[in-house]
Amino acid sequence: MNIYWNQQWPAHIQYALFLADNALILAQQHSKWCGKGPILEQDIALSNIALDYLGQARNFYQLAAEELNQLEGVQFYTEDSLAYHRTDRNFVNLLLTELEQPNWGHCVLKTFLYSSFASLVFQKLMHIQAGELTAIAEKSNKELAYHKRWSQDWVIRLGDGTAESNTIMQQALNQIWPYAGECFIPANFETVFWQNHPSFFHELEKEWMDYLQTIFTEATLQLPAKQAWQTGGKQGIHTEQMGYVLAEMQYLQRTYPNSVW
């Protein structure tokens, strides 16, 4: 039985699912690089990063499932049902997280853009009274600090490397950048969740852009000109790639319902 997104759910539950969906889809995309990294050490590093995101997703899904079961007086929602029993229109992850990663440059750049964004969000979650969300953010931010540092080093290494590596990184940035701005265009549930912090998104974007500019300058990469952002992920409108991601990820559970490890 599919689970459908309900805009009447409390904002903190919707926000938990947003954070879970981002982490799960990114974990799924990163896991495709297992065994394909440029060197063994970095292959293992990225595999561990994928596992970190999967762990974050589990924590957020477990929280959302507990809250939804209590809210609706059922024992229907679980971390597995939230991950495997929703169609693409019921996922609210950022489009950025679902993009294909055709080469190593794309992979590390996407990791850098998302981890630097998520790290700022989690730092702010750690300083408000958000219950279990704050506790998960505190634990997850330690992981994100590593993800950000690891991907930042690769962006600089490749951007300020050879002419070829710089070209590949600049092309990756040009292709990915139109999807980055969705991070700062709040969905209704985000607006409600952060209503006591009206300047949240403006401050978040400024901090993020200042940090990115510093790193991209060191990496000799040019930020693309300002443009219209690609949006829709937070409203369940995704890229074509999302269908392939879910088809692969949900295959076993949908073919053999109620399967467990």
**What pLDDT, in 10s, does the model give residues 245-255?**
999 999 998 88
Q: Residue 91 in 3-state DSSP? A: coil
In the chain, pLDDT over 70 holds for what percent of residues? 99
pTM, rounded to two decimals = 0.95
* CA 126/CA 120 separation, integer angstroms: 10
Q: Return the amino acid letter for 135.
A: A
Two tokens, residue 240: 């074509």
Query: How confident is the model at residue 219, as a pLDDT?
Result: 97
- What's the whole-number average pLDDT of the chain? 93
Contact 13, 71 (CB under 8 A): yes
* CA 167/CA 32 separation, integer angstroms: 24
**Region 124-143 average pLDDT:** 91
Pairwise pLDDT comparison (163 vs 198), residue with the higher score: 163
Query: How confident is the model at residue 261, as a pLDDT?
Result: 63
**Region 115-140 average pLDDT:** 93
Query: How confident is the model at residue 258, as a pLDDT?
Result: 78
- Is residue 78 very low, low, confident or very high in pLDDT (cuts 50, 70, 90)? very high
**Region 232-254 average pLDDT:** 94
Query: How confident is the model at residue 254, as a pLDDT?
Result: 87
11-222+232-255: which CATH number, 1.20.1260.10, 1.20.1600.10, 2.10.50.10, 3.40.50.720?
A: 1.20.1260.10
Contact 16, 133 (CB under 8 A): yes
Of 166, 157, 175, the C-alpha closest to 39 is: 157
Of 35-44, 123-132, 149-158, 187-196, the poorest mean pLDDT is in 35-44
Two tokens, residue 148: 């950000």
Contact 159, 169 (CB under 8 A): yes
